Structure 1
Amino acid sequence: MFKLKKSFAGFLGLFMLFSLSQPSTASAIDKFSYLSAEEKVKIGIGSPRVNNEHVNGYTFQSIKKEESIIQTITINPSVFSPVIEIPIDFQNEENLILYQDSLGNTYNAGNIHNKNHNSIGIFSVQLVNDQGKGRANITSKIKDGNTLIVNVDKKYPLEPLTIIIEITASTFSTYFSEMKWIDRGGIKSLSLAQKPYLTNASDDGLERVKKLDAWDKVASIHRSNNQWSNTNGMRNQFDCHFDFAKKKDSWNLEPHRPNVDYLTTVIARCNP
């Protein structure tokens, strides 16, 4: 009896130790997992569906962490390439927009737009355990504005694949630690202190959607300010700083600067 009690006590102690060692910043969520975005908007990500009956099973887990929900989907070894559908629940006419560049190329990342067509968040799809081996390719599409479709083209059927879907409901403070209007030699300038999160991205697609999302935050906050003008010129200055002056302590956007094209802005070191 004593040995049994001692063993049980030891098991209980190990269980408590394991429980306390789990990350306190993340929590598992079932079914639809929701984030609160700007203007009391809620965004939910649902359970994925694999649309190939021949796929040999899959598992998934959704974790809420700070401003994001991270959904991890693991596809078991199979000779068939799956198509994964992830439903997104919107409640106020929001929709998913996959990023597309000027040449028509799309990426596995995009923005979440509100009914006014402003970005209120971002999403991305990543193949995380491929490690450059080319075992699979993924291509993302959007259906009806609220369903993320991921096509997986498997090259090595005997190995499992893990895909991560991340949705972030962003705010101005997601990207910037400070914003203020300052006087630079009698010239008004909007000074932005950017955070590393804005300029550190794991791939080109995610970098592009962050830039678009961050600009929408800046413009939506300051557009009504009486010191704001020359929106197109301010946008070119912002893009120039993002593309070529990421490491500056702050980005200064000056509305009095001439409204010239992006290339001219770059040649003038972001403040033409």
Structure 2
Amino acid sequence: MTKNKTLIIRTLSLLFLITLFISSDPTQAQNNNVINYFKEPTSKNLTRAVKDVKDNEIKETITLVKLAQDSSEKLNFVIPFNPENGEYIKINKGEEGIQVNSANIYSSNGNSIGIIAFENKENIDLSKVDGHLEIQVSSRENTIDVSYLIASYTYEDYFNSSNWIVRDNITSLSINPKPLLWDSGILEWTSIRNDSWEKLLDKHIDDSKFSNQNGMKDQYYCHFDFAKGNKIPWNIEPSRPDVGYIKTVLKACNP
């Protein structure tokens, strides 16, 4: 009886520790719940919202109508953001330092845990107001549709595999990407590029073969931007020089 009681106590203690470990892993919790941080968009101009929720994605198209029927009237809407543990939004910029129509959601310790991407239109401008995301749209049309995606993706969503190989006597991280990395459609995809790199980095940064993080990132970004699904696998190599993104592109991703 005593032995059985001791075994039961040990088993329950082990289960408690496992449960505690899982529930206290902020990255896992945030990856599962990030879409729930965003509430329904609000705007005095909002007339219709069509939303499709699937697993870890929200795809939504909203219709905005000008109240004054004035071609110069600008339309604003807000997507409320209610983080749970210090998460925050960072609006992205392109290589030229110009703001683009996407943002990443970061955990309190600076890890990308989610993405938000809008249509790649010049008349959309993103800003943050009191931590929420505000979108301003300018158009000569009286009725405007705006589509966007909010999602939380994992390594497995982005990649089939990534393994170290040796080719031409050079150590290379050989990446087998999934179509999610190039099937951007009408959306601006910088947030996906940032987030997928972080997921790849998390998997391999402690590998003995990994080094030259900035150079590897530029090679990855180059493949993401130009190789897409036309050249698989993507091979990025720590031994190549860190020359910056532009020079990496000019060398066909292999400086």
Normalising by the residue count of structure 2, what TM-score does the alignment of the two structures yield? 0.75
Q: Percent of pairs identical after alignment?
A: 32
Q: Distance in 2 between matches of 1:46 and 1:212?
A: 24
Return the letter of the residue paired with 2:227: A
- The answer as to 2:155 corresponding to 1:172 is yes
Aligned match of 1:192: 175
Aligned match of 1:120: 113
Q: Distance in 1 between matches of 2:178 and 2:247?
A: 26
Q: Measured at CA, do residues 155 and 258 of structure 1 come closer, stay the same or move farther in structure 2, by a change above 3 Å?
A: closer
Give matches, 1:100-119, under 5 Å: 100-119=93-112
- The answer as to 2:227 corresponding to 1:238 is no
Q: Measured at CA, do residues 107 and 236 of structure 1 come closer, stay the same or move farther in structure 2, by a change above 3 Å?
A: closer
Post-superposition Cα deviations, 1:153-207, rounded to whole Å, max 9, x if no partner, equal: 34233xx33222310101112221211122325443211011222123235x723
Aligned match of 1:19: none
Equivalenced residue count is 221
Q: Name structure 2 gaps, 5 residues minimum.
A: 1-25
Post-superposition Cα deviations, 1:136-159, rounded to whole Å, max 9, x if no partner, equal: 9332212233x11112334233xx
The structure carrying a bigger helix percent of its residues is: 2
Q: Distance in 2 between matches of 1:174 and 1:88?
A: 24
Post-superposition Cα deviations, 1:95-148, rounded to whole Å, max 9, x if no partner, equal: 111112344421221111222223222112239xxxx9xxx9332212233x11
Q: Distance in 1 between matches of 2:247 and 2:141?
A: 48
Q: Distance in 2 between matches of 1:185 and 1:106?
A: 39
SS class of match (1:216): helix
Q: Distance in 1 between matches of 2:103 and 2:140?
A: 26
Runs ≥4 residues deviating over 6 A: none
Q: Measured at CA, do residues 244 and 71 of structure 1 come closer, stay the same or move farther in structure 2, by a change above 3 Å?
A: closer
Aligned match of 1:10: none
Match of 1:214 among 170, 173, 196: 196
Q: Measured at CA, do residues 257 and 103 of structure 1 come closer, stay the same or move farther in structure 2, by a change above 3 Å?
A: closer
Aligned match of 2:126: 140
C-alpha contact 1:234 1:255 (8 A) present in aligned 2: yes
Aligned match of 2:245: 262
Q: Distance in 2 between matches of 1:239 and 1:226?
A: 22
Q: Measured at CA, do residues 183 and 66 of structure 1 come closer, stay the same or move farther in structure 2, by a change above 3 Å?
A: same
SS class of match (2:146): strand
Q: Distance in 2 between matches of 1:245 and 1:175?
A: 15
Aligned match of 1:161: 144
Measured on the aligned residues, the alpha-carbon RMSD in Å equals: 2.7
Normalising by the residue count of structure 1, what TM-score does the alignment of the two structures yield? 0.71
- The answer as to 2:90 corresponding to 1:97 is yes
- The answer as to 2:133 corresponding to 1:151 is no
- The answer as to 2:58 corresponding to 1:69 is yes
Q: Measured at CA, do residues 59 and 263 of structure 1 come closer, stay the same or move farther in structure 2, by a change above 3 Å?
A: closer
Q: Measured at CA, do residues 58 and 100 of structure 1 come closer, stay the same or move farther in structure 2, by a change above 3 Å?
A: same
